[in-house]
Amino acid sequence: MALKGDMFSSISAAVANGAFCDIWTVVGEEAIVHNIYYEDNIVVSRYDGVNTIIIETFTGAGVYAWLDFHVGNTHRIRVMNNSGAAAADIGYDGIYSKV
């Protein structure tokens, strides 16, 4: 089980074009996302299961860094592979703020 302050991270390998890497926690936990890594075009959104707010769009590979996105079980960051054709790896890191 994670502890408050532990690293919160993952890599979603081969996310299909138009598919999502959702960044969220299990029920009762919360985390702060600091960096999002991507190997092709992406669209980053805030998502609550119904509503979507587009935050940023990026072209090419890179890192969206120095963030303070708060996520939980119902409010998440949704990263869409917007490459146009290819599957792409998408990852993130941050820390647990509530466990």
The pLDDT of 8-33, averaged and rounded, is 97
Confirm whether 1 is domain-assigned. Answer: no
- Evaluate whether 8 touches 33 at the Cβ level (below 8 Å): yes
Q: Kindly indicate the confidence band of residue 8, based on its pLDDT and cuts at 50, 70 and 90.
A: very high
Confirm whether 2 is domain-assigned. Answer: no
Residue 18: give the domain boundaries: 7-98
- What is the pLDDT, as a whole number, of residue 31? 98
Confirm whether 46 is domain-assigned. Answer: yes
- What is the pLDDT, as a whole number, of residue 1? 78
Dihedral sign, CA of 81, 87, 93, 96?
positive
Within a 10 A sphere around the Cβ of 90, how many other Cβ atoms? 24
How many domains is the chain partitioned into structurally? 1
In this structure, what CATH number is given to the domain that contains residue 88?
2.60.120.340
Confirm whether 79 is domain-assigned. Answer: yes
> Using one digit for the tens of pLDDT, what is the confidence trace for 47-99?
999 999 999 999 999 999 999 999 999 999 999 999 999 999 999 999 999 99
The pLDDT of 27-56, averaged and rounded, is 97
